[in-house]
Structure 1
Amino acid sequence: MPFEPRSVTSDMASRSYGVCVICQRAAGVKMMFRGMSAVAHPQPQADFLKGELHRKHPGVTNLKTLRLPEELQMAAQSIIHGAQVPQLPERVRKVTNFLWSRKRAVEDVTLRQKGVSLEKELWEKAMQKRGDIDEQVLEDRIRKRVFSELRRTTYHWTPLKFDEEMGVVYMAARLAGGYAAVRRALNEIKKRDPSFAPQSLLDFGSGLGTVAWASHSCWGDTFKEMVCVDSSGAMNILAERLLKGDDERAEPHIKQVYFRQFLPVSPKVQFDLVVAAFTLSELPDAKGREEAVITLWRKTSSYLVLVENGTKEGHQMLMEARDTLVKKQEKTVHDPRPASVFAPCSHQMMCPKLAQESVTPCNFQQKYHPLPLPGHNDRQTEKFIYLILSRTEPAKAETEGVEWARLIAPVLRRTRHVHCKMCCPDGQLQHLVVTARKHSRDVYRCARNSDWGDQVPVIQKVEEDVVHSESE
């Protein structure tokens, strides 16, 4: 038979096919052994995870978008519908803006210092232009100018006054957002101290009774006594209506809730959980806030929770309260256990944000569904600041070398690394780039699954990972 040479193309194709088959088989065997190896030798999980998934690690305290308890929402809608408040959406907007832009009242000492400084400046200018003017006339003129300037430039703090109609407006504006902030703050205790089962609650400045609802959603019927204190009789009546579903004959949804207009007098009466939410901003001066905080701490047997708007003013007020309880000594000590910061700070030192040239508030956020009213979006975000103090020492990490830092900004997720702005246990603010190679796979995955407000474990600090120190 004549020789018929095979085509070059055909020969190369068959060889390529043979190589591909061999490669596929080899790859299959390799993958099989890799799979067997993974099954036979699973990577050990870090101790700090305590058996949890990375997305549910112990430092995660953020909550999904919150809804008001159904009974509370239905009662609020019933009351709002029955009240028929004129121009409700516009009044809700004004109240919201008023509360968010609110500042602390200017202290008398500060006002006097400002007045003396301004008077001195005006006298110096007058002396340079002095003619034949009568000194008494000049003094009167300068004094009037000082008073006029102080009135023009000084923030005029006014207290909120509640009647039945104003209470309904406030409820429409703040019920859902206030509930979301308190619920998120209380979740920190529930997550980090699962053995805590409070039997008594004191809510100072209880308003709509939001704290009682948020506490009940965390710990259910463990409470045997909930004391709600608010100086406004109208607000106490409104809070009781909410508990009864806007039906006077009905049983309250949460039992053992008692409304008072004054704090219990005896300093020996203590409560497992004491809360003051958006209350310090309603006190007219620093001395009043300090006395209130000390009184509340005396009545605390386990945890004191303070919550305010996420503004510079809210931050300053809570940092003042923090310093009062952590640094100052009481004249009469009824409970010798000192105050320790439980959250959000990861240390007991001064807030590093206060040392920055441009002070920004250390605030956090919680998404929530507002009341279904005209002008309300389906989802809103509550920015708030909170402080939790404990009678017990903060728990030590079970694993040697593990420290927990607080995320103070949203996490930026990038390919194989994440950017984390954190408040660290050494009292410094750090912008850390976390990678699996330098911080371990578990730490990296925890950081990637965390967000603003959560805590993240930091096994070790690597100098080249620190982009900059915000405290410098």
Structure 2
Amino acid sequence: MASRSYGACVLCQRAVVVKMMCRGMSAASQLQSQVDFLKGEPHRKHPGVTNLKTLRLPDELQTAARSIIHRAQVPRLPDRSRSLTNFLWSRKQAVETLTLRQKAVSLEKELWEKAMEKRGDIDEQLLEDRIRKKVFSELRRTTYHWTPMKYDEELGVVYMAARLAGGYAAVRRAMNEIKKRDLSFAPQSLLDFGSGLGTVVWASHSCWGDTLKEMVCVDSSGPMNILAERLLKGDDERAEPHIKQVYFRQFLPVSPKVQFDLVVAAFTLSELLNVKEREEAVLTLWRKTNSYLVLVENGTKDGHQMLMDARDTLLKKQEKTVYDTRPASVFAPCPHELPCPKLAHEPTTPCNFQQMYQSLPLPGHNDRQTEKFSYLIVTRTEPAQAETEGVDWARLIAPVQCRTRHVHCRMCCPDGQLQHLVVTARKHSRDEYRCARSSDWGDQLPMIRRVEDGVQSDSE
């Protein structure tokens, strides 16, 4: 009898568990039926997927680049291109004058205090000279020495071998965010500030083709402009450019009333001397923006910081003379306009993303490489992505970890917080779970409802 009673209890418990699971699944399916964010798309192509597969340079661009590099016969090209890549990646912001002065004053005060502790008979003038020399010596030793990059034809070819494919991949990935989410956007004009080899022109042409009727490339380096033109013509001066209506300038158009549908500055802010110059450049570019402003930098702490400074400038700073009253709003990658939570956590880590690409087929180059970059897209228009009631879109800021029947997602959420969400089919809707398994670092993830269980702070 006891065994029968025990068996009956076990069966009852199992029945209760099954019933609760069914209730949970029915609730999730009911929620799923009420919220349709897929818009008829399969889960692997849900509206938040903006990542691209391994990118390859357009055939015409790759052929022209190989021809130019072959003709140039640059000595030790593989080693020099590798060194230039490492140098550009490790490059930091120039130290601000005020910061340098504060550091010098602090160091001088510290040295004087140490000298006074000895209390010996010291010639004050001699001591002052010694301390001044020591301060200068210490500042020279510990301060990053920023110098502007000056490209001649040979260094331009080295840059082409080192950065053409990676730069194209980063810009193409950033532009795909606009192309995927704003289907109605068909730009007719483009401004590329700090155009370099013209990768922005090629990337925008890959996205929108012949809708672009005017493309203005601005770069202060004459040799780089010449190389960019040679790339467009397939390294044949007599040939017609592969992409037409491209105009090269060394200075920005003067009139503040001239606007472009798409304005891009890729790896350019890091070439400006200080915060003031970067702020002025960002405001100037924004004045010339009719729809979207795209900023791309290296995926380093400094690159991310420069983009966040630009974001704050556009969202908070008021200009004296306003020619276009439409306000700035962040389009990507941030799902909010609050302070960046990445900068609030210690140790600080950059918000960056990655894109796989095929490098130029040159000696010493790996076939496939990964470009790690940070980007910011600001728009004057209302967000084009249709807002589904009850759905928030968070940005995946780390690789998605798929496990058995659950997925680990680290996200930046619309409330301005970082979250570690464990997505399961039982706790969440089936659609949300399958979307999570189909998403990756850099994509947007639909959040149908806030789930307290399984949510952890990244600071833990």
Q: TM-score, normalised by structure 2?
A: 0.92
| Aligned-pair CA distance for 1:130 | 2.9
Contact 2:398/2:409 (<8 A) preserved: yes
| Aligned-pair CA distance for 1:410 | 0.6
Q: Deviations over 1:10-63 (max 9, x none)?
A: xxxxxxxxxxxxxxxxxxxxxxxxxxxxxxxxx969521111010001000000
| Aligned-pair CA distance for 1:344 | 0.2
Please give the alpha-carbon distance, in whole angstroms, between the structure 2 residues aligned to 1:390 and 1:369. Answer: 31
Matched to 2:265, the amino acid is: A
Change (3 A) 1:361 1:254: same
In structure 2, the partner of 1:15 is: none
Matched to 2:320, the amino acid is: K
Check if 1:431 corresponds to 2:407.
Answer: no
Classify the secondary structure of the residue corresponding to 2:377. Answer: strand
* Counterpart pick for 1:179 among 168, 189, 194: 168
Q: Deviations over 1:414-451 (max 9, x none)?
A: 11110000001111000000111221011111111000
In structure 2, the partner of 1:236 is: 225
Q: Deviations over 1:139-186 (max 9, x none)?
A: 111111111110111000011110000000000000000000000000
* Counterpart pick for 1:211 among 200, 220, 239: 200
Contact 1:428/1:471 (<8 A) preserved: no
Which region of structure 1 is more displaced relative to structure 2, 395-404 or 147-156?
395-404
Please give the alpha-carbon distance, in whole angstroms, between the structure 2 residues aligned to 1:393 and 1:349. Answer: 18
Check if 1:86 corresponds to 2:103.
Answer: no
Check if 1:461 corresponds to 2:457.
Answer: no
- 5 Å-filtered alignment, 1:359-438, equals 359-395=348-384, 397-438=386-427
Contact 1:181/1:382 (<8 A) preserved: yes
In structure 2, the partner of 1:452 is: 441
Contact 2:35/2:389 (<8 A) preserved: no
Contact 1:105/1:285 (<8 A) preserved: yes
Please give the alpha-carbon distance, in whole angstroms, between the structure 2 residues aligned to 1:437 and 1:183. Answer: 37
In structure 1, the partner of 2:85 is: 96
| Aligned-pair CA distance for 1:377 | 1.0
| Aligned-pair CA distance for 1:357 | 1.4
* Counterpart pick for 2:141 among 152, 155, 168: 152
Please give the alpha-carbon distance, in whole angstroms, between the structure 2 residues aligned to 1:66 and 1:398. Answer: 30
Classify the secondary structure of the residue corresponding to 1:250. Answer: coil
Classify the secondary structure of the residue corresponding to 2:84. Answer: helix
Corresponding residue pairs, total: 429
Matched to 1:383, the amino acid is: K
In structure 2, the partner of 1:72 is: 61
Please give the alpha-carbon distance, in whole angstroms, between the structure 2 residues aligned to 1:426 and 1:404. Answer: 11
Matched to 2:328, the amino acid is: A
Q: Deviations over 1:82-112 (max 9, x none)?
A: 0000000110111001001000000000000
Q: Which has the larger radius of gyration?
A: 1
Contact 1:207/1:236 (<8 A) preserved: yes
5+ unaligned residues in a row in structure 2: which ranges?
Answer: 1-31
Please give the alpha-carbon distance, in whole angstroms, between the structure 2 residues aligned to 1:236 and 1:307. Answer: 20
Please give the alpha-carbon distance, in whole angstroms, between the structure 2 residues aligned to 1:283 and 1:146. Answer: 27
Please give the alpha-carbon distance, in whole angstroms, between the structure 2 residues aligned to 1:289 and 1:188. Answer: 24
Classify the secondary structure of the residue corresponding to 1:380. Answer: strand
In structure 1, the partner of 2:259 is: 270
* Counterpart pick for 2:118 among 129, 135, 141: 129
In structure 2, the partner of 1:287 is: 276
5+ unaligned residues in a row in structure 1: which ranges?
Answer: 1-42
Please give the alpha-carbon distance, in whole angstroms, between the structure 2 residues aligned to 1:291 and 1:306. Answer: 14
Contact 1:405/1:457 (<8 A) preserved: yes
Contact 1:421/1:432 (<8 A) preserved: yes
Classify the secondary structure of the residue corresponding to 1:117. Answer: helix
* Counterpart pick for 1:200 among 182, 185, 189: 189
Contact 2:332/2:377 (<8 A) preserved: yes
* Counterpart pick for 1:443 among 424, 428, 432: 432
Please give the alpha-carbon distance, in whole angstroms, between the structure 2 residues aligned to 1:79 and 1:397. Answer: 45
Please give the alpha-carbon distance, in whole angstroms, between the structure 2 residues aligned to 1:115 and 1:398. Answer: 53
Please give the alpha-carbon distance, in whole angstroms, between the structure 2 residues aligned to 1:278 and 1:293. Answer: 13
Please give the alpha-carbon distance, in whole angstroms, between the structure 2 residues aligned to 1:266 and 1:398. Answer: 37
Check if 1:324 corresponds to 2:313.
Answer: yes
In structure 2, the partner of 1:34 is: none
In structure 2, the partner of 1:25 is: none
Please give the alpha-carbon distance, in whole angstroms, between the structure 2 residues aligned to 1:44 and 1:135. Answer: 83
Contact 2:182/2:384 (<8 A) preserved: no
Classify the secondary structure of the residue corresponding to 1:431. Answer: strand
Which region of structure 1 is more displaced relative to structure 2, 120-129 or 218-227?
120-129
Runs of 4+ in 1 over 3 A off after TM superposition: 43-46, 395-398
Matched to 1:247, the amino acid is: D
Contact 1:186/1:215 (<8 A) preserved: yes
| Aligned-pair CA distance for 1:394 | 2.7
Backbone CA RMSD of aligned residues: 1.2
Contact 1:243/1:254 (<8 A) preserved: yes
- 5 Å-filtered alignment, 1:341-356, equals 341-356=330-345
- 5 Å-filtered alignment, 1:295-310, equals 295-310=284-299
Please give the alpha-carbon distance, in whole angstroms, between the structure 1 residues aligned to 2:391 and 2:209. Answer: 33
Contact 1:397/1:403 (<8 A) preserved: no
* Counterpart pick for 1:170 among 145, 151, 159: 159
Of the two structures, which has the highest relative contact order with CA contacts closer than 8 Å and spacing of 6 or more? 2
Contact 1:408/1:422 (<8 A) preserved: yes
Contact 2:46/2:435 (<8 A) preserved: yes
Please give the alpha-carbon distance, in whole angstroms, between the structure 2 residues aligned to 1:304 and 1:128. Answer: 57
Matched to 1:257, the amino acid is: V
Please give the alpha-carbon distance, in whole angstroms, between the structure 1 residues aligned to 2:390 and 2:34. Answer: 16
